[in-house]
Amino acid sequence: MAIIDFGGVKETVVTRKEFPLSKARKVLKNEVIAVIGYGVQGPAQALNMKDNGFNVIVGQSPEFKKDWDRAVADGWVPGETLFDIEEAAKRGTIVQMLVSDAAQRAIWPTIKACLNKGDALYFSHGFSITYNKKTGVVPPKYVDVIMVAPKGSGLNVRRNFLSGAGINSSYAVWQDATGRAEERCLAVGIAIGSGYLFPTTFAHETNSDLFGERGVLMGCLAGVMEAQYEELRRHGHSPSEAFNETVEELTQSLIRLVDENGMDWMYSNCSSTAQRGALDWKPKFKKAVAPVFKALYRSVASGKEAERVIESLSGENYQEQLAKELAEMRNSEMWQAGAAVRALRPKEKAKTITKDTKGVTGRDA
């Protein structure tokens, strides 16, 4: 493990140097990794592990034809590497629960019945375990319970793997039944393509994830974008101008500079007018939103957000309601303008995929 200084706070992390892919292959050489669910995280993690040379199978309900057909299209073979959920769970020695939190509650009795002594139960989000009194997901004492939580969507887990960059992940052990739980956990973390892994707990991961998604990553981001766009439109700016100044410049230019070298570096590569205004208004925005973030964390830590999730996902008409809410966002003027702007972007070069002994990389065709 490496000790890294994060702005004056030292933290222990695991990098590919300390835990190389060759070591992960040795640790998992006798394991059958069953990826349960081929929706969001499932395809990326399964394909990354497969490309890295691990013994992977997929468990997906044929009733969800779209996901089943996607798995087939990705090269998983029914009856050989693609099975229904129960059969895959029976065959797996590491069972990865990569269906949604709501689906985990629904399939848990089936999964539990398939677990054998010494198996490992794997999660990429701590929700079901952290709130197991509410979800009913209580693992038997004879299995390892581990987690690797990539800090990105399944789409980016795959994209970053193909580019060779990897994606950072947190990891945790909730139950060590075999004495090998941490080793197995880290090995799977490397197998799915993590750039580096940092330790956490199931509870911390759950709280930070719920907090972040409702905050900067999704809820806050969408809210402040709408507020800025609508204010520009109120003052007569066109949809194209309002969208470009609110979203397009952020996603296509500025956030990429932040990614490369940090916020200060992005500031230093903008005009002096932009620098001055940003520095002057940054504390005003921080002061305005700090109370909202405090209230949000209280709601997460108290379990209220978990209760809201469980209650809403249990509703018979949840999918219809979700589709309605997403449609309202998609059909708003702001995101209709966004669709028009994206259509005007120059098309990117196609990618081809090549394999080598280190895994998979992407290159321009």
Residues designated as active site: 125
Beta-carbon contacts of 24 under 8 Å, excluding residues fewer than 6 positions away, are 52, 186, 187, 188, 190, 191
Q: What does DSSP assign to residue 64?
A: S
- Distance between CA atoms of residues 262 and 249, nearest Å: 17
- Distance between CA atoms of residues 239 and 58, nearest Å: 44
Phi, psi of 346 (to 5 degrees): -60, 140
What sign has the CA pseudo-torsion 188, 193, 197, 200?
A: negative
- Distance between CA atoms of residues 176 and 142, nearest Å: 9
Question: Would you call 5 helix, strand, or coil by DSSP?
Answer: strand
Question: Would you call 151 helix, strand, or coil by DSSP?
Answer: coil
DSSP string, 68-82: HHHHHHTT--BTTTE
